[in-house]
Amino acid sequence: MRIIDKVHKKIKNFANHKWFDEILLFTVIMFIGLGNFSLGILYERQQYNKQNPIEIRYSTQAVELWEQYQNSSNQNNNFFASKNGSVVYPINCSAGNRILEENKIYFTTIDQALEEGYRESTSC
């Protein structure tokens, strides 16, 4: 309890200091000013974004090329694994469904995967 009393006494002494009111007023004014400045910046950004909207357009040719690539990369592939993992799964195995598509690596044979250091899944 003694430490709390000492801290309480120090806070009271600081609050009774003759410059405390001025420092408190200055701090409040600074925070109000910074808040208003931040709100002004947010308003200006909002106005700029309304006047200059961002529009994303996909080229149909690029979409078609991406689909062709996806189809060709998945053809003749019988096994897949995560590039961050150590287990290889057959294509129809549901145990590998949690792997994100961008993290999947495909193999045509199990031997290729084993040579790369992957181990065969025991759940499929």
For 65-107, the pLDDT digits (tens) are 888 876 665 555 688 899 888 999 988 888 888 898 889 888 8
pLDDT of residue 72: 63
pLDDT of residue 46: 95
Q: How far apart are CA 8 and CA 76, in angstroms?
A: 76
Instruction: Report if pTM > 0.75.
Output: no
Q: How far apart are CA 124 and CA 122, in angstroms?
A: 6
pLDDT of residue 18: 79
With 90 as the cut, is the pLDDT of residue 30 above it? yes
Which of 39-43, 91-95, 118-122 has maximum average pLDDT?
A: 39-43
Encode 95-111: b = buried (16+ Cβ within 10 Å), e = exposed: ebeebeeeebbbbeeee
pLDDT of residue 76: 58
pLDDT of residue 11: 81
